Amino acid sequence: MDKDLFQYLLRLGDNTLVLGHRVSEWCGHAPVLEEDIALANTALDLIGQTQLWLGLAAEVEGAGRDADKLAMLRDIWGFRNLLLVELPNGDFGRTLMRQFLFDAWQVINLGRLMKSSDPRVAEIAAKASKEAAYHVERSADTVVGLGDGTAESHARMQAALEYLWPYVGEMFVGDDVDAALVAAGVVPDPASLREEYDAFVGRIFATATLEMPESRFTHKGGKNGAFHTEHLGHMLCSMQWLQRAYPGASW
Amino acid sequence: MYAQMVKTDGTGVKDRAEMSADEQAFQDRIDRGEKIEPKDWMPDNYRRTLIRQIGQHAHSEIVGQLPEGNWITRAPTLERKAILLAKVQDEAGHGLYLYGAAETLGVTRDALTEDLLAGRMKYSSIFNYPTLNWADMGAVGWLVDGAAIINQVALQRTSYGPYARAMVRICKEESFHARQGFHIMMKMARGTKEQKAMAQDALNRLWYPVLMMFGPSDKDSVHTAQSMAWKIKMDTNDELRQKFVDQTVQQIEYLGLELPDPNTKWNDETGQYDYSDPDWTEFFDVIKGNGPCNVDRLAARNKAWDDGKWVRDGLMAHAAKKTAAKLAAE
Amino acid sequence: MKNEWPLWEVFIRGQHGLSHRHFGSLHAPDAEMAIKNARDVYTRRNEGVSIWVVEAVNVSASSPEDKGAFYEPSNSKVYRHPTFFDIPDEVGSM
């Protein structure tokens, strides 16, 4: 059970770790100052959530690691994030579309985790869900604004959606880890979130005049660590460099 | 400083005898310590000088995001990453407040941005130096922000109301920047052999560029007198530089690092430290665009602005559609 | 094409019970985004619980020339200030 919980917490923590890292890459390069500041806020929330989820993961694991050791000293096969969040930023439209696709799931999933039978999980979910609620409001607004903006912004958002859509399904694919925790009432069944998700994002895409792709094909391999994209390794090269180059130093 | 060598159009202080009645009344208000507000009458030269100074200050904050942003993705711990990101975000915020202050003088933020991107307006010379190792994040916070704070604290009393109010907000937020920088330096200076080497390397590389931030020596600063009369500059370049050296030498010694300038010595007679001048030829080269990073910095800002155009236009077009739909419904 | 986002003035109420206070300005395509941007720009350190935004072109201001006529008359009405009235100490606080 603790082994499964550890895996599940890595999934949550790695999602926010990797996405927070990606979003932080925008700092100083966003289209306008107000967006630069807003993106940094999102990244900061995600990094904060990472500290909580990975902190709890380390505690559950009980092997003397902490959140930083988990973040900085695992190699690519140890990561359990969704493939969606490790994809490169692309243009601002793709970044915001990825953010929206993630936020929409995150806010639903955290809502269920707030009712977890494990109070530690419920507590972190309660804190994170307030942040996620703001994230999804903002990213949905931006998806609508750019989808229903100029011809160029519309085309870019539609292209972003089509590029990212095949990575959405992984959120809803369950495995043995999920099954064990679902049975214990710790986490929701991933598949059970899909209907609400599709209804919500469908509503936003309609307002945004974007066409939701019909295909249900999904890439997978992130949340169980079997098959990450090539992009994650390059990210780890930057993220983990100092800890790898100077082992044991205190920063 | 974040605003260096700001031109005042004239040379030296305008003599009272040459002033119009309006100008005399204006100067009297400043001398009494009153704040000048956006709709108040002000000499054209005061307005133009302020636009240049506040604009340059704002540009420095924005370009200043880049050297530190360079390390966000390589920060060694989650907490360091969050702190650095929050700090660089503050700089974007400070740029935003300052552009807002400049806009009260009748110029738009986009116009100022385009002046920066075309190289028509400057930003502080310090941001044309690279950040090469993690200790630079310590040294930049400690020294660069430390130097900036000395000036910004004084500018809270500047004569132009919106500028003074922006400085109050900035100083309040800025107080954590220098401290987090020094905190990194303490960790590094007391860390492993390699970490200590990084700390010394960062200090040595940044020392003279930081001294240059205060601008050329007073004898070469033709615009200082008028700006001081207008209270948009509160102290001379050399006064601020000396203050910075005096407070920093002790901090270097506390860290147990070597002084980057072997000529730094306490002078009993003057009651302050003697130190070597930076290489002013290098300073003027950097100002002219030949610093190590000038081209990269401007290219990065231009790219962000050009790549972002479709986003700004898209969101604006959507807002226009919403307004039109609302009007049609009424 | 010039297509600058309009300028908005931001007013924030810091704590329950206090009035909204002018905090600064920012740019946004419309009012909804201006409120969100204000949240991200001006409440990073728990500064506020309520946000107002007004497009800067819609702010009407008194002109500085009126200063005397507007504000000086109240100088002579000192009785509006509580310190105008001497109350003996033995009455207690009032």
Contacts of C28 in chain A (CB under 8 A): 34
Mean residue pLDDT of chain C comes to 84
The answer to whether the beta carbons of residues A27 and B93 sit under 8 Å apart is no
User: What's the mean pLDDT in B19-35?
Assistant: 94
Measured between CA atoms, how close is B70 to chain C, in angstroms?
A: 22
The answer to whether the beta carbons of residues B72 and B81 sit under 8 Å apart is yes
pLDDT at A166 over 90: yes
Task: Give the pLDDT confidence of C52-69 residue by residue, as tens digits.
Answer: 999 999 998 887 766 666
pLDDT for residue C84: 72
Minimal Cα distance from C29: which residue of B? B316
Nearest to A27 among B69, B79, B310 (CB): B69
pLDDT for residue B220: 83
Minimal Cα distance from C25: which residue of B? B100
Q: How many residues does chain C have?
A: 94
Q: Do A243 and B76 touch (CB under 8 A)?
A: yes
Measured between CA atoms, how close is B9 to chain A, in angstroms?
A: 31
Decide: helix, strand or coil at residue C79: helix
pLDDT for residue B30: 95
Question: In the numeric block, which tokens belong to residue B176?
Answer: 């954590």
**What whole-number distance in Å separates Cα of residue B288 and Cα of residue C77?**
59
Task: Give the pLDDT confidence of B99-108 residue by residue, as tens digits.
Answer: 999 999 999 9
Mean residue pLDDT of chain A comes to 97
State the pTM of this model: 0.94
Hey, of B22, B42, B110, B112, which one would you mutate to test binding to chain C, going by the most C CBs within 10 A of its CB? Answer: B110
**What whole-number distance in Å separates Cα of residue B19 and Cα of residue A49?**
61
C 13-72 residues with CB < 8 A to B: 24-27, 29-30, 33, 41, 44-45, 61, 63-64
Mean residue pLDDT of chain B comes to 94
Nearest to A38 among C27, C29, C37 (CB): C37
**What whole-number distance in Å separates Cα of residue A74 and Cα of residue C94?**
68
- Residue A56: its H or E element: helix A33-61
- Touching partners of A (3+ C-beta pairs < 8 Å): B, C
Minimal Cα distance from C6: which residue of B? B316
**What whole-number distance in Å separates Cα of residue C88 and Cα of residue C65?**
42
> How many Cβ atoms sit within 10 Å of the Cβ of residue A195?
10
Collect all residues from B whose CB is shorter than 8 A from any CB in C: 37, 39-41, 86, 89-90, 93, 96-97, 100, 103, 108-110, 165-166, 169, 173, 312-313, 315-316, 318-319, 322-323
> How many Cβ atoms sit within 10 Å of the Cβ of residue B186?
17
Contacts of A241 in chain B (CB under 8 A): 74
> Position B102: which residue type?
A
The answer to whether the beta carbons of residues A12 and A181 sit under 8 Å apart is no
Q: A1 pLDDT band (50/70/90 cuts)?
A: low
**What is B115-181 written as a DSSP string?**
HHHTTSS---GGGGS---STHHHHHIIIIIIHHHHHHHHHHTT-SBHHHHHHHHHHHHHHHHHHHHH
Q: Do A38 and C28 touch (CB under 8 A)?
A: no
Measured between CA atoms, how close is B112 to chain A, in angstroms?
A: 13
pLDDT at A38 over 60: yes
Q: Do C5 and A137 touch (CB under 8 A)?
A: no
> Position B314: which residue type?
G
Hey, of A32, A52, A96, A235, which one would you mutate to test binding to chain B, going by the most B CBs within 10 A of its CB? Answer: A32
Nearest to C40 among A38, A141, A145 (CB): A38
pLDDT for residue C2: 65
Please count the residue pairs, one from chain A and one from chain B, whose beta carbons lie less than 8 angstroms apart. 149
Nearest to A34 among C32, C41, C44 (CB): C41
Contacts of A51 in chain B (CB under 8 A): 78-79
Please count the residue pairs, one from chain B and one from chain C, whose beta carbons lie less than 8 angstroms apart. 47
What is the share, in percent, of chain A residues with pLDDT greater than 90? 99
Task: Give the pLDDT confidence of A211-251 residue by residue, as tens digits.
Answer: 999 999 999 999 999 999 999 999 999 999 999 999 999 99
* Residue corresponding to tokens 């039978």: A117
Collect all residues from A whose CB is shorter than 8 A from any CB in C: 32-34, 37-38, 41, 134, 137-138, 141, 145
The listed CATH number (1.10.1840.10, 1.20.1260.10, 1.10.10.410, 3.30.70.270) that belongs to domain A2-245: 1.20.1260.10
pLDDT at A203 over 90: yes
Boundaries of every domain in chain A: 2-245
Measured between CA atoms, how close is B113 to chain A, in angstroms?
A: 11
pLDDT for residue C17: 77
Q: Do C33 and A137 touch (CB under 8 A)?
A: no
**What whole-number distance in Å separates Cα of residue A69 and Cα of residue A47?**
14
Minimal Cα distance from B302: which residue of A? A29
Task: Give the pLDDT confidence of B269-297 residue by residue, as tens digits.
Answer: 999 999 999 999 999 999 999 999 999 99
**What whole-number distance in Å separates Cα of residue A88 and Cα of residue B200?**
35
**What whole-number distance in Å separates Cα of residue A21 and Cα of residue A26?**
9
> How many Cβ atoms sit within 10 Å of the Cβ of residue B329?
6
Please count the residue pairs, one from chain A and one from chain C, whose beta carbons lie less than 8 angstroms apart. 26
Q: What is the ipTM of this complex?
A: 0.97
**What whole-number distance in Å separates Cα of residue B69 and Cα of residue B88?**
7
Minimal Cα distance from A209: which residue of B? B318
User: What's the mean pLDDT in C8-29?
Assistant: 92
Measured between CA atoms, how close is B178 to chain A, in angstroms?
A: 17
Q: Do C25 and B103 touch (CB under 8 A)?
A: yes
**What whole-number distance in Å separates Cα of residue B221 and Cα of residue B232?**
15
Q: Do A141 and C33 touch (CB under 8 A)?
A: yes
Q: Do C30 and B93 touch (CB under 8 A)?
A: no
- Touching partners of B (3+ C-beta pairs < 8 Å): A, C
Minimal Cα distance from B89: which residue of C? C41
Nearest to B314 among A24, A44, A153 (CB): A153
Domains and CATH numbers, chain C: 7-83 (3.10.20.520)
pLDDT for residue A70: 98
Strand partners, B267: B272
Task: Give the pLDDT confidence of B139-188 residue by residue, as tens digits.
Answer: 999 999 999 999 899 999 999 999 999 999 999 888 889 999 999 999 99
pLDDT at C1 over 60: no
Of A1-5, B142-146, C84-88, least confident by mean pLDDT is: C84-88
Of B48-57, B306-315, C11-20, least confident by mean pLDDT is: C11-20
pLDDT at B254 over 70: yes
**What whole-number distance in Å separates Cα of residue B189 and Cα of residue B135?**
9
Selected residue with higher pLDDT from B225 and A228: A228
Q: C15 pLDDT band (50/70/90 cuts)?
A: confident
pLDDT for residue B13: 82
Q: Do A34 and C32 touch (CB under 8 A)?
A: no
User: What's the mean pLDDT in A117-124?
Assistant: 98
Judge residue A125's burial from the number of C-beta atoms within 10 Å of its C-beta, 0-12 exposed, 13-18 middle, 19 or more buried.
buried
**What whole-number distance in Å separates Cα of residue A228 and Cα of residue A230?**
7
Of A216-230, B10-24, B55-69, least confident by mean pLDDT is: B10-24
